[in-house]
Structure 1
Amino acid sequence: MEAPPPAVTRADVLRGAYGPYRANNDLLSYHLDIRVDPVKETIGGKNTIRFRMLADGDRIQLDLHEALKIDKIVLGSTELKYTRDSGAVFVDFPDTLKQGQIYSIDFYYSGHPVTLGRFGGFTFSKDPDGKPWIFTSCEDEGASIWWPNKDQWRDEVESMEISVAVPNDLVDVSNGRFVSKTDLGDGYTRWDWMVHYPINNYDVALNIGNYQHFSDTLKGDKTGDLTMDYYVLPGDLEKAKKQFTQARGMMEAFQHYFGPYPFAADGYKLVQVPYAGMEHQSAVAYGNHFQNSYLGPDWTGVGISPRFDFIIIHESGHEWFGNSVSAADRSDMWIHEGWTTYLETLYVEYMYGHDDAIKYLTGVRKKVQNQRPILAERGVNADPTEDQYFKGALMINTLRSVIDDDSKWWSLIYDFYQQFKYRNIMTEDVVAFFNRETGLELTPIFNQYLRHADIPTLQLFFDPATRSVSYKWRADEPGFAMPVLVGEKGHWQRITPTEQWQTMKTSLTKEQFEVATDLFYVDVAKY
């Protein structure tokens, strides 16, 4: 049984709420310029934060973990006062900042970043040869665990520069397009990267190590060629050259369904890390040991998983959903994870066909727990249930079956992505889009799967004397009425049960009468 969500803390509220000192400004750009010392295990430097005021005000809210020291915050030559509270940093200005005006502040900081969370947050470690291997992964913990920023999801910068100084014998791989490296003359080299697109705070990454680089180019037509760069440790170079060829097929599949790779100006990178993986924008973290499947030889148990490297496919799929189309609040993270899990099935369908895709998706059904709703509480940095992955994907596949027209479905999901790319959205935006574009009232279906713990149950009452079956939905969402395929595989009959009993004739017995539960994520109760 899945554990209940943790209690909400003051830190959660301060970080999760889009309060007045967040809402009064719009981020434009960051320039994170830092030095990383592997011996002292410290970081230090500054983040230059450019923003436009949306209303007059003399205070804004930023964030930095309490383990790190604020050296100073300045506007031009004026040092600003600030107040710290549970990770939040309230910055006060001596004069009112005016609506519509653009301002830039330099936030200087230093210290020992903490190592915590599933993948370490910010970790100083060693590679197998004993050389420094330093990495970040902070989706859950928040980017402010290692650098100062407006640590929420709603407002993303439009572009970002990342400058990281490391010892001369190491490489830093960060997000965006490599610009240059500069020998600083003191044993350190600064690596400069440029992100040309909006980016989530938690996607911003450092990968510092003894990396070897190789590359590939995916030929394009209208959008030009796409650079594909790979960074791995020396001992894994040959394995990586073989395994990472899967990235081409992944890219071709997802571009087929959704259009061009969304960060072409920054290129695509896979970067080896010692944890499983993470969707760091244009610098996808990879740690699946250069083998197919994930967490075992056949992690979905249906024979499809061993054909491909789950981490390459899933984490790269986030470039479309999670990094390009992003949730505006962590509560709605199924927009990242449910859609990207569904993208796994689209990869299988593109490579191996529809039947294998449905087989693969059926394999994840047993991983759903249905203990609490997928949508978490909003505005409090809530941790959504793991069901956002598999139940989210099963719901999307159910929606495809409800629409029952694949040519329309492919057009819908393409248009859905294209409408919302580079935007931060909520569940209501998703529902409104599908309602509008299909002309159907799909809100009760979305609500049942996202806002309630249980899935709908199709109740079937058989009457052999009249050779009939009565049917209705048992669901939590009022007005739930969803079509479903019943009868006999290969000869399905489409019915639309509601919350009221309906009756149909059937020559099938209770044992023979089936429901297409591989196409619709529902339970069945026969009486």
Structure 2
Amino acid sequence: MRKRPPVCTRERALKFATAVIALGAAIAVPATAQDFGERRTTVSGLPLTADQQAITPEHLWLDIWVDPEAQSIKGRAEYALEIADPASKIEMELDQRFRVTRVSLGKIELPAEGFRHTDGLLTVPLEGARSANGRIALRVDFEGEPRTAPNAPWDGGFVWSQTSDGEPWIATAMQGQGCDLLFPCIDYPTKEIGRVDSTIWVPAESRLYAAGNGKLLGIEDKGDWRGYKWSARQPNTYAIALNIAPYGVIERTHRAPSGQDVPLAFYHLRGDEAGAARMLDELAKYLDWFERRIGPYPFADEKAGIAQTPHLGMEHQTINAYGNGFRESDEPYDWLLFHEFAHEWFANQMTNRSNADMWLHEAAASYMEALYLRDVAGEDAYRAKLDEYLPRIVSKVPVAPGAGIDSGSYLDSSGWGGDIYFKGSWILHTLRELIGDEAFFRSLTRLVYGTAEPKPGAITPIYRDTDEFRQIVEEETGRDLEWFFDVYVRQPAMPLLKGTRDGATLTLEWEVPGNRTFQMPVEVKIGERTIVAEFENNRARVDLGSATAPFTVDPDAKMLRGLPEPVLTPPPPRRN
């Protein structure tokens, strides 16, 4: 996802008639095209209409001609769609800034009155055009000046920049606003396209190189244009990206622990070869670590790619955006490169079913940073990373709302856009401490691949939601963990641990909103020994051994809990 919200130091369908839509955790609400209007082009993940739900985008052949001087594009999108009954029309988002110049169904070009492009929604009536097997070809030609990103990657669109010697340096970052800023699409996480074959065209007389998603199939010169042809399997919709500059390319093949030979590539500005080579070395380390901890790199048949960008970063599938300037750090990793690469597993391979479950992307990617530091630099580095996250937690809204939300919530004042990183990381930390490493990592592997034993060559992207994650963890542990997810994920307030001391007896009590049951065990260190306090009806009693025994609650900070710290009744004064 786009990088962390700027409040942190590291950095943040729609029918013409009423339809019933499924939203997030199967909450049904009506939606019409007029419900959203201009919001459709500024946020992503708005509810699907019944017609959009019936459409499966199987293949897209996408041509984009980029004019750096005019800061405009022309595009041609040719879809192979599978359309189920009872769909009566094709509905796709396309930014209203674009002019639609041609629409064809099959081999028939439609007259101007045969389609509609209003408020960012392209509507094409089917009227019997669907073939007997439910498949149809759709072609859309469009052109215009795309949205310029006000503040990429948080407020996205096109970035029209220049290199130090004045050559064009162009990138897209569209997660919050969606794929419709670049091409017609169904802008919803579960509407990934089965295969995208894209050709990015740049002026032939330039030195520009267009890096794209997936595997490079070839480079073609045609008149005044040079086309870079790419093919990607089921890319995340917002992760389809343009990266255009006078790039040099460093490439190598890396033998991964899984036995896969993974093509690595860094598309860098000239003069930055040394930094790019160093980052490619880093990428190989990260890839090996993720394979050992989570499972095989999902896109080894394409590449693990990085493009140097004029904005900070984004997890564009197989072509991650990197704008961290090759900065040296006291930490033994490049946080931006690592975080975006983590999303190849947690976002691109495993994709949230709706924005309401986006914490599965961001919490996991952020927590992987802490776990990586634990493995390469030790427990203190791990704790330092978690300590860095803790004061950034806001806890005004749930990290996983029960109903679907759109991406506009990311930058609003609720703090959700930060909590899905930082609070989510602490939730995963707490879960790992509760269930142990073996069950925790097996759960993550099953979450990402749908199996605990993924095999290279037999990996396909998967959609997930929070309830599925809970079910996996419960199966791995044999425990009912509804109380854990109910308190930490489904409501905003953090549990408070209160304590009182009466002589040698310490009474601990969990206070949670709505008097929910909360069974989190708590370690108590008494002198040199540590015991685990088990709770019944949210209360536990601990025998301290004596009225003066020193003790510490949760001495190793194994769980997320609210502040202030427990206020404990002081022991009675000593008698001489």
- TM-score, structure 2 as length reference: 0.83
User: Would the alpha carbon gap of residues 498 and 453 (structure 1) be closer, same or farther in structure 2, given more than 3 Å must change?
Assistant: farther
User: Would the alpha carbon gap of residues 408 and 443 (structure 1) be closer, same or farther in structure 2, given more than 3 Å must change?
Assistant: same
- C-alpha RMSD of matched pairs (Å): 2.4
CA contact (8 A) 1:15 1:88 kept: no
Q: Say whether 1:397 aligns with 2:438.
A: no
The structural deviation recorded for 1:498 is 4.6
What is the rounded CA distance, in whole Å, between the counterparts of 1:251 and 1:93 in structure 2? 46
User: CA-to-partner distance for each residue in 1:289-346, whole Å, 9 max, x for gaps?
Assistant: 10145xxxxxxxxxxx632211111000000001111111112110110011111122
What is the rounded CA distance, in whole Å, between the counterparts of 2:168 and 2:379 in structure 1? 45
| Stretch moving more, 53-62 or 121-130 | 53-62
Which residue number in structure 2 is paired with residue 356 of structure 1?
381
| Structure 2 unmatched ranges of 5 or more | 13-34, 411-415, 452-459, 569-576
Which residue number in structure 1 is paired with residue 557 of structure 2?
518
User: Would the alpha carbon gap of residues 444 and 121 (structure 1) be closer, same or farther in structure 2, given more than 3 Å must change?
Assistant: same
The structural deviation recorded for 1:424 is 1.6
CA contact (8 A) 2:255 2:262 kept: yes
Q: Say whether 1:193 aligns with 2:227.
A: no
User: Would the alpha carbon gap of residues 402 and 155 (structure 1) be closer, same or farther in structure 2, given more than 3 Å must change?
Assistant: same
Which residue number in structure 2 is paired with residue 46 of structure 1?
76
SS in 2 for 1:374: coil
User: Would the alpha carbon gap of residues 110 and 10 (structure 1) be closer, same or farther in structure 2, given more than 3 Å must change?
Assistant: closer
Q: Say whether 1:273 aligns with 2:305.
A: no
Q: 1:181 aligns with which of 209, 216, 219?
A: 219
User: Would the alpha carbon gap of residues 409 and 97 (structure 1) be closer, same or farther in structure 2, given more than 3 Å must change?
Assistant: same
What is the rounded CA distance, in whole Å, between the counterparts of 1:84 and 1:401 in structure 2? 52
User: CA-to-partner distance for each residue in 1:95-141, whole Å, 9 max, x for gaps?
Assistant: 16368522121111000001134314112221111001111000011
What is the rounded CA distance, in whole Å, between the counterparts of 1:432 and 1:11 in structure 2? 38
The structural deviation recorded for 1:10 is 4.5
What is the rounded CA distance, in whole Å, between the counterparts of 1:258 and 1:526 in structure 2? 40
Letter matched to residue 109 of structure 1: F
The structural deviation recorded for 1:415 is 2.9
The aligned runs of 1:78-93 (5 Å cut-off) are 78-80=108-110, 81-93=114-126
Which residue number in structure 2 is paired with residue 76 of structure 1?
106
User: Would the alpha carbon gap of residues 114 and 481 (structure 1) be closer, same or farther in structure 2, given more than 3 Å must change?
Assistant: same
CA contact (8 A) 2:524 2:551 kept: no
| Stretch moving more, 261-270 or 357-366 | 357-366
User: CA-to-partner distance for each residue in 1:19-46, whole Å, 9 max, x for gaps?
Assistant: 1011111121211112111111110121
CA contact (8 A) 2:256 2:287 kept: no
CA contact (8 A) 1:58 1:93 kept: yes
The structural deviation recorded for 1:175 is 0.4
Which residue number in structure 2 is paired with residue 474 of structure 1?
511
| Stretch moving more, 74-83 or 175-184 | 74-83
CA contact (8 A) 2:443 2:472 kept: no
Identity rate, percent: 25
What is the rounded CA distance, in whole Å, between the counterparts of 1:489 and 1:323 in structure 2? 48
Which residue number in structure 2 is paired with residue 55 of structure 1?
85
CA contact (8 A) 1:58 1:97 kept: no
User: Would the alpha carbon gap of residues 15 and 413 (structure 1) be closer, same or farther in structure 2, given more than 3 Å must change?
Assistant: closer
The structural deviation recorded for 1:510 is 8.4
Q: 2:282 aligns with which of 246, 261, 265?
A: 246
Which residue number in structure 1 is paired with residue 172 of structure 2?
136
The structural deviation recorded for 1:260 is 1.1
Letter matched to residue 369 of structure 2: E
Q: 2:209 aligns with which of 167, 171, 178?
A: 171
Letter matched to residue 513 of structure 2: D
Q: 1:502 aligns with which of 528, 534, 540?
A: 540
User: Would the alpha carbon gap of residues 217 and 40 (structure 1) be closer, same or farther in structure 2, given more than 3 Å must change?
Assistant: same
User: Would the alpha carbon gap of residues 2 and 41 (structure 1) be closer, same or farther in structure 2, given more than 3 Å must change?
Assistant: closer
User: Would the alpha carbon gap of residues 381 and 362 (structure 1) be closer, same or farther in structure 2, given more than 3 Å must change?
Assistant: closer
The structural deviation recorded for 1:52 is 1.0
Q: 2:360 aligns with which of 335, 345, 352?
A: 335
Q: Say whether 1:451 aligns with 2:479.
A: no
Letter matched to residue 191 of structure 1: Y
The structural deviation recorded for 1:270 is 0.9
SS in 2 for 1:401: helix
User: Would the alpha carbon gap of residues 100 and 12 (structure 1) be closer, same or farther in structure 2, given more than 3 Å must change?
Assistant: farther
User: Would the alpha carbon gap of residues 312 and 157 (structure 1) be closer, same or farther in structure 2, given more than 3 Å must change?
Assistant: same
User: Would the alpha carbon gap of residues 157 and 238 (structure 1) be closer, same or farther in structure 2, given more than 3 Å must change?
Assistant: same
User: Would the alpha carbon gap of residues 78 and 452 (structure 1) be closer, same or farther in structure 2, given more than 3 Å must change?
Assistant: same
Letter matched to residue 28 of structure 1: E
User: Would the alpha carbon gap of residues 241 and 158 (structure 1) be closer, same or farther in structure 2, given more than 3 Å must change?
Assistant: same
SS in 2 for 1:262: coil
SS in 2 for 1:451: coil
Q: Say whether 1:387 aligns with 2:439.
A: no
How many residue pairs end up in the alignment? 508
Letter matched to residue 477 of structure 2: T
Which residue number in structure 2 is paired with residue 412 of structure 1?
443
SS in 2 for 1:441: coil
CA contact (8 A) 1:262 1:324 kept: yes
The aligned runs of 1:287-326 (5 Å cut-off) are 287-293=323-329, 306-326=331-351
What is the rounded CA distance, in whole Å, between the counterparts of 1:227 and 1:214 in structure 2? 11
The structural deviation recorded for 1:221 is 6.1
| Structure 1 unmatched ranges of 5 or more | 294-304
CA contact (8 A) 1:53 1:98 kept: no
What is the rounded CA distance, in whole Å, between the counterparts of 1:463 and 1:220 in structure 2? 58
What is the rounded CA distance, in whole Å, between the counterparts of 1:359 and 1:519 in structure 2? 13
